[in-house]
Structure 1
Amino acid sequence: MSTPVKPVHDLPLEQPPLERDNSYISAQDSSDKSLFAPTAVAPLEFTDNPEHKPRPWWARRAQQYGDRFPRVRRVVRYIRGPQQPVYMSAPVSFLERIPPRIPVESFLRRWTQPLTNPFIVSLFAAGYIIGLAFLTRQSWFLTPADALIGCTATYWPDEGTCGLGGSACMPSSNTPFDFRCAAQCATVILSDARPVGTEEVAFVPFVVGGGDRQEGSSGTYRGDSFLCQAAIHAGLISESRGGCATANLIGEFTDFVGSVSNGIESTGFPSVFPLSLRLTKSNAYRYCADMLREAIIFNVLASVLLFLVLRPRPLVLFWSLVCLGYWHISLFADPRSIPPDLEGAFGDFLPLLFVSYAIWRVSFRYCLPFFSEIPIERAIWFLPAYWVGLSWKITFERLPVDRLLGSDIKERTGALATVIVLSIVIFACVVNQLRVMRKTGWLVWYVWRYAIAGLVVLVLAMLPGLVFRLHHYITALLLLPLTAFPTRLSLLYQGLCLGMFMDGIAKFKFDSILQSPDVVSITRPILIPQANEDVDPTRCTSWEQLTCLPHKFDNLRFFYTWVNQTLFWDGFPDTDEGWNGFSLVIDDVQQYVGDALNFSLAALEPTITHFFRIAFQKDGATGDSTKAATLFSNGTWVDAAPGPA
């Protein structure tokens, strides 16, 4: 009786990537080049051995259908690929394969071999940590913490937070405020619309006024402008280096002039606002420049040295990239707060390491070690993509679909075209990886697992009351298993995805894939330290109005009578939603809260234009308001446009 012929390496018929043999991980240090050879597999020959188990019913049924439809069988066999998984060989250097075959890779390996000693790598790591500490200290901790403000810092978050007449946001004194801004504040935009008179300002920097610039000082800005963006608009600080400035409060001001300056377009407002400010250059602090540029140079050089000169083992190299990327984002590129939140960064670092180990297991260990013999190509394919992913704030956040929300795609200019282009690029990359999977026999193994994941995502997206948010760190986690093949494009994809993952966790922590609508806004105004702190945090603020109360505008109308200078509006709609009050906003400042149906305008200045918005209230919580109606100085009344503000 003949015995079955076993495969050469005795591999199982179905071996998932998580259980692959790890013996080739240390191929960098092995002289046995046969480790990189594709696995030779002899066909299995089954006999009439009584111990041989019969095929399952579904296999027999598939055989029957295959006999009836031979063309379908051929298509299925083509898609399935080889029954035995085929392991790809290590890539050969382009420079040494294409004439004139310059041996640059072997030359680099030979001359830098003494520097790959683990002791030297350890000294480099210690020196890097010390240098990073000094760079962080000079960047953030030589300036008083109360002078460091974020890109969205403002005296006046919005009318709902500031109370009647803005009393909760009026500073207690007019003392000048010296502040320091970080770099790249001009790229921060309003993710949700904010009304300024009759305009709806969205997806742009929020600066109101500043066009009346005078010699020796900036123009006059409305008190709710973002301070750092106003300072950039005034030319007092740099977008690339940040800087210091002084805010001088001047109280009530009328007619804020809009203009375009230093890449920022400010919005005009032809009415009165109770808080305004002018900006001047500050000499109060010595260290005003943001160290982001120096940090990028420092970390890029460190990553290049790791890839080309020190060349540690692949696993050590992977952990070095994880740590370098995470702390670069947390301390310099895009920290969660200003100054950086070290407590939060260290709190998320340990969970990040556990997830990174899973990334190594399912993806990196099947690709990165194969490029150990060609360090130059490994650096060329991996590092640029890695730094593009780490620089998410500079690269992808400037695209008009940075939040991947349907509302953004509809409202933002160029969003649909961007989605189409990105979809084509991603589709081409996925098709290429599917081709590699089919060629190596892993396509079916991946397809049914990702099909299950797709069904889970579909169910989550249909849950009511929540917004499905595919964060870029989740996108990276979903794509990384598809790159577990030793190809150059897989190495490029791994660099991009690892950078995206590091940026997402360092900036937003492990944010949920399902979020309430009030959390989706990413540009919430931050009250600066000089403002009054008696603000009720439980109020239904402008960025939370998506879920505060139902929106009803059909039955809420208001009109003006010139005879007695009184504004009237309709009563509550005939519903069971429990409305019990109104909130009246005049010139973007809340001026009345109550259940009356009229409001006297006798105290308003009759020679300027005024804007009016009104909203329902329920137990003090304010819903969305109407759009603004306008009362011109000549007595002309223009009704509000339909829909919410």
Structure 2
Amino acid sequence: MPSGSPDRLSQLAIPTLASSPDAELSSSSSHDEIEVVLPGFHLTRPQNVHTDTDDSLDKAEKAIPGEKRDGDGDLEQGTAAAVRKRSSSSASQVGEWVGMLTGRIRGWTRSASDGSGTATPPTTTNPPRLPAGVRLGPVGPWDERFDAWLVRIRARRPRIGRALIWLRGPSPPWIETELPVFPLPFVGPQLHRFELWCSLKLAPMRRWRQFTTPVFLLAWLLGFVFLVRASFFTETSTPHGTPTWIGATDSYWFADTGCGINGTGCENTPGSTFVFRCPSLALDVELLNPYAIGADSISYDSLVVGGFDAEHTYRADSWICAAAIQHGLFTEHRGGCGQLEFVGEFTGFVGGEQHGVRSQSFDTTFPSSYRFLDAVSQTGCQDLRDDILGYDVAMSTVFSFFIRPSPQTWFWVLLCVGAWHNALASDPVSMPPDLEVAFERFAPVLFVGAAFWRHAWRWVAPAFENSGYILERTVWYLAGFWVSLDWIPINRLTPHDIQQEPGGLVAVIVLVIFLVAVVLNQLRVIRRTGWFFYYLKWYAVGGAVIGVLAALPGLELRLHHWIAAVCLMPGTAFVTRPSAIFQGFLLGMFIDGAMRWGLDSILQTSASLVGDGATGSPLPAFLTNSTNFASYVAEGIVAWEPISADLVSQGYDSFALLVDDVYKYSSPATNYSLAGLDASLVHYFRLAYQNSGTVGDFTKAATAFISNSTWIDPRPGPS
């Protein structure tokens, strides 16, 4: 609904209406007037007279039952009513209204044509009345021109005109202010009676909410701070030392060339120990891009290699928290502390599955590894984010239903609580939570929240209070707000992820069906209330802007969580129960995206979208292959093709070689000596071009069995 424009009906100030049970409110279809029908006389007033007293008429609207307008005849009358002349002076209009009021009370009206005071009998036929809980929206010059165009279309093309008028709905558009009873034959009336009983019992709480609200919020804040401090900011000691917080993906080895030649940048002294502390829900973090382990690769799983040999040895690039959960040090839901010991070089990592964690095997040598030491107390090491979630859900429920804050207070409390719950409990950007980043992202969230209230929430949330449905407000808003998106197995809506991620295609199909159903329902409500073409206009403008942005070269359109919520929120500005669910859901979706990742750009380069995945750079080719490997073994080398002239012109000048997933070679030469390799073990070779020190994509692994001169060519594509 448009904001900033006063609606016509709410500007009419008649304080006595609230006490008149027989008063009726109607909108004229043939004059530039709003007509209030009182017992025995009629009072009319031009629609665009501005006054400052809205509350009395709002009360009158709640007390006045109305009748619904339906049918083409009423719609046509509505079209004619929307095409009206505007008065040139607000002051003169007020004078006319006062004169008409006096004349109506005395039983006569002044003729607008001759200016005489001739008495005329009151009108005996009334125009269609507005439904209960509905007021008229504003009508601007664009609306008047559009309605006049619809009249001309219907005169020339009746079928097309009727269809367009049906799509347009009532004119002026309706602003609904109350909810009907829950639409179930038995549940609805029972729920309504229960709401009335609760409202009666909790009436003192509402009268004193300006005092109870700050007291309750202070208690809520103190409890939240206590739980967050106990979970993340209290220093924990163990007999082996103070544990260090680590993230779910922390390890002691970086992929590909990250540790330097021969892994010298990731060396650890064998026998040294490290005491660590892991957060909860570490297994929710997965590899989004393929990760090569020998000739195989894994994705959409935790990175764990080894752990099932006799001494439970893990490769150094294994994620420590996931490996500790597999080893049984603590559970995923609470996190915990542990101690590991560095082993150094190890051969023959054995994979397996335990405690919900699957590890991979690696049948050759890796220069760094670790094992867990079991004697670590878990006292004070548990992550309390599940307790914080339960606490916030319970307190928000009590706040909404028992404290009964005003709609605007309810919105801002929900926004702030959600933002800080995300930053300090559910999805902190680091461990312990980084307050600097949280405050940096909180300010933009407040500005977007102001737009949410202005253009969507202020139309829907007050309707629950006007209707007395506080229990329903609590259920619908909080259900959408607190429900997590974790059940959808899609992290990035890219074609590759949809195809590769387990259950991704099914999830997208279900999501699309759900969104289509939601959009169709909202379109139905938008048409019924007369806002269809208004929203069509602005969404068409937004779609055109997005289309232009998507066409910019070198950039890709990325629909982040927060952008999707911002785009969809205006479509929920209608007084229905589904709108409340969608508003809560979209607000939680926006907060999750904005507080976890920040307000990322809607346009991003391919490199930023890929992250640590393949970039699509050229791939070198091995000269050594399955047919000639014996001759190369005799020479003691592995060889590959030189850089072509075309690639040289693009800046490629050397090669990078990984042997057994370790960076071994960086040179413009085209061969590598096998002299330092153990001939009794299998070995894996991956090759990439380098451009001024920047390494491109590596090939998939070629497998070499030196002892029997067997070579398995790499599969096509990058690793």
Moved more, 53-62 or 613-622: 53-62
What residue in structure 2 maps to residue 209 of structure 1? 306
What residue in structure 1 maps to residue 396 of structure 2? 303
Contact residue 165 and residue 589 of structure 1 kept, 8 A: yes
Contact residue 517 and residue 544 of structure 1 kept, 8 A: no
SS of aligned partner of 1:190: coil
What residue in structure 2 maps to residue 33 of structure 1? 62
What residue in structure 2 maps to residue 199 of structure 1? 296
What residue in structure 1 maps to residue 599 of structure 2? 510
Question: Cα gap change, 1:417/1:441 in structure 2, threshold over 3 Å: closer, same or farther?
Answer: same
- CA distance in 1 between counterparts of 2:516 and 2:60 reads 39
Contact residue 4 and residue 46 of structure 1 kept, 8 A: no
Amino acid at match of 2:159: R
Amino acid at match of 2:588: G
What residue in structure 2 maps to residue 223 of structure 1? 316
Report the structure number with the largest CA radius of gyration.
Answer: 2
Per-residue CA deviations over 1:407-438 (Å, capped at 9, x if unaligned) read 21122232222211110110011000000000
What residue in structure 2 maps to residue 128 of structure 1? 220
Q: Determine which structure has greater relative contact order: mean sequence separation of CA pairs < 8 Å that are 6+ residues apart, divided by chain length.
A: 1
- CA distance in 1 between counterparts of 2:604 and 2:269 reads 37
- CA distance in 2 between counterparts of 1:354 and 1:183 reads 32
Question: Cα gap change, 1:191/1:45 in structure 2, threshold over 3 Å: closer, same or farther?
Answer: closer
Contact residue 37 and residue 89 of structure 1 kept, 8 A: no
SS of aligned partner of 1:604: coil
Question: Cα gap change, 1:229/1:50 in structure 2, threshold over 3 Å: closer, same or farther?
Answer: closer
Q: May I ask how many residue pairs the two structures share in their alignment?
A: 602
What residue in structure 2 maps to residue 80 of structure 1? 168
What residue in structure 1 maps to residue 438 of structure 2? 345
What residue in structure 1 maps to residue 482 of structure 2? 387
- CA distance in 2 between counterparts of 1:177 and 1:45 reads 79
Unmatched runs of 5 consecutive residues or more in structure 1: 14-18, 523-542
Matched, 1:428 2:428: no
Contact residue 38 and residue 88 of structure 1 kept, 8 A: no
Question: Cα gap change, 1:568/1:461 in structure 2, threshold over 3 Å: closer, same or farther?
Answer: same
TM-score (norm 1): 0.86
TM-score (norm 2): 0.78
TM-aligned CA deviation for residue 22 of structure 1: 11
Amino acid at match of 2:689: F
Question: Cα gap change, 1:555/1:252 in structure 2, threshold over 3 Å: closer, same or farther?
Answer: closer
Question: Cα gap change, 1:421/1:36 in structure 2, threshold over 3 Å: closer, same or farther?
Answer: farther
TM-aligned CA deviation for residue 468 of structure 1: 2.2
SS of aligned partner of 2:370: strand
Contact residue 468 and residue 513 of structure 1 kept, 8 A: yes
What residue in structure 2 maps to residue 471 of structure 1? 560
Matched, 1:162 2:259: yes
What residue in structure 2 maps to residue 179 of structure 1? 276
How do residues 344-423 of structure 1 correspond to structure 2 at under 5 angstroms?
A: 344-372=437-465, 373-388=468-483, 391-392=484-485, 394-396=486-488, 399=489, 401-423=490-512
What residue in structure 2 maps to residue 330 of structure 1? 423
TM-aligned CA deviation for residue 106 of structure 1: 1.6
Per-residue CA deviations over 1:449-473 (Å, capped at 9, x if unaligned) read 1111112222223333333221112
SS of aligned partner of 2:305: coil
Question: Cα gap change, 1:286/1:101 in structure 2, threshold over 3 Å: closer, same or farther?
Answer: closer
Per-residue CA deviations over 1:95-150 (Å, capped at 9, x if unaligned) read 99845677211221222233332212111111111111111111111236971111
What residue in structure 1 maps to residue 197 of structure 2? 107
Contact residue 250 and residue 278 of structure 1 kept, 8 A: yes
SS of aligned partner of 2:687: strand
TM-aligned CA deviation for residue 195 of structure 1: 0.8
- CA distance in 2 between counterparts of 1:371 and 1:249 reads 61
Unmatched runs of 5 consecutive residues or more in structure 2: 1-29, 37-44, 89-140, 237-241
Choose the corresponding residue for 1:151, options 237, 248, 270: 248
- CA distance in 2 between counterparts of 1:98 and 1:178 reads 58
Contact residue 619 and residue 697 of structure 2 kept, 8 A: no
- CA distance in 2 between counterparts of 1:142 and 1:605 reads 49
- CA distance in 1 between counterparts of 2:47 and 2:668 reads 76
Contact residue 580 and residue 617 of structure 1 kept, 8 A: yes
Matched, 1:635 2:709: yes
- CA distance in 1 between counterparts of 2:86 and 2:410 reads 52
What residue in structure 2 maps to residue 538 of structure 1? none
Question: Cα gap change, 1:639/1:35 in structure 2, threshold over 3 Å: closer, same or farther?
Answer: farther
What residue in structure 2 maps to residue 291 of structure 1? 384
- CA distance in 2 between counterparts of 1:231 and 1:257 reads 16
- CA distance in 1 between counterparts of 2:204 and 2:371 reads 60
TM-aligned CA deviation for residue 627 of structure 1: 0.7
TM-aligned CA deviation for residue 58 of structure 1: 8.2
- CA distance in 2 between counterparts of 1:443 and 1:89 reads 18
SS of aligned partner of 2:473: helix
Question: Cα gap change, 1:8/1:352 in structure 2, threshold over 3 Å: closer, same or farther?
Answer: farther
Matched, 1:259 2:352: yes
- CA distance in 2 between counterparts of 1:514 and 1:164 reads 36
Contact residue 555 and residue 603 of structure 2 kept, 8 A: yes
Choose the corresponding residue for 1:239, options 332, 336, 342: 332
Question: Cα gap change, 1:35/1:298 in structure 2, threshold over 3 Å: closer, same or farther?
Answer: farther
What residue in structure 1 maps to residue 34 of structure 2? 7
Question: Cα gap change, 1:38/1:55 in structure 2, threshold over 3 Å: closer, same or farther?
Answer: closer
Amino acid at match of 1:124: F
What residue in structure 2 maps to residue 594 of structure 1? 667
- CA distance in 1 between counterparts of 2:436 and 2:177 reads 45
Matched, 1:137 2:229: yes
SS of aligned partner of 2:513: helix
- CA distance in 2 between counterparts of 1:629 and 1:148 reads 38
SS of aligned partner of 1:87: strand
Per-residue CA deviations over 1:4-24 (Å, capped at 9, x if unaligned) read 4413497979xxxxx9x9957
- CA distance in 1 between counterparts of 2:250 and 2:498 reads 27
SS of aligned partner of 2:257: helix
- CA distance in 1 between counterparts of 2:495 and 2:717 reads 19
SS of aligned partner of 2:284: coil
Contact residue 289 and residue 613 of structure 2 kept, 8 A: no
- CA distance in 2 between counterparts of 1:615 and 1:513 reads 32
- CA distance in 2 between counterparts of 1:221 and 1:573 reads 41
Per-residue CA deviations over 1:328-351 (Å, capped at 9, x if unaligned) read 111111111111011111122222
Contact residue 480 and residue 494 of structure 1 kept, 8 A: yes
Contact residue 699 and residue 717 of structure 2 kept, 8 A: yes
- CA distance in 2 between counterparts of 1:26 and 1:47 reads 25
- CA distance in 2 between counterparts of 1:234 and 1:152 reads 16
SS of aligned partner of 1:161: coil
Contact residue 36 and residue 88 of structure 1 kept, 8 A: no
Contact residue 700 and residue 715 of structure 2 kept, 8 A: yes
- CA distance in 1 between counterparts of 2:570 and 2:198 reads 31
Contact residue 306 and residue 312 of structure 1 kept, 8 A: yes
Question: Cα gap change, 1:387/1:98 in structure 2, threshold over 3 Å: closer, same or farther?
Answer: closer
Contact residue 177 and residue 462 of structure 2 kept, 8 A: no
Question: Cα gap change, 1:438/1:47 in structure 2, threshold over 3 Å: closer, same or farther?
Answer: closer
What residue in structure 1 maps to residue 211 of structure 2? 119
Contact residue 178 and residue 282 of structure 1 kept, 8 A: no
What residue in structure 2 maps to residue 616 of structure 1? 689
TM-aligned CA deviation for residue 517 of structure 1: 3.4
Per-residue CA deviations over 1:324-382 (Å, capped at 9, x if unaligned) read 11111111111111110111111222221121111000000000111111111112222
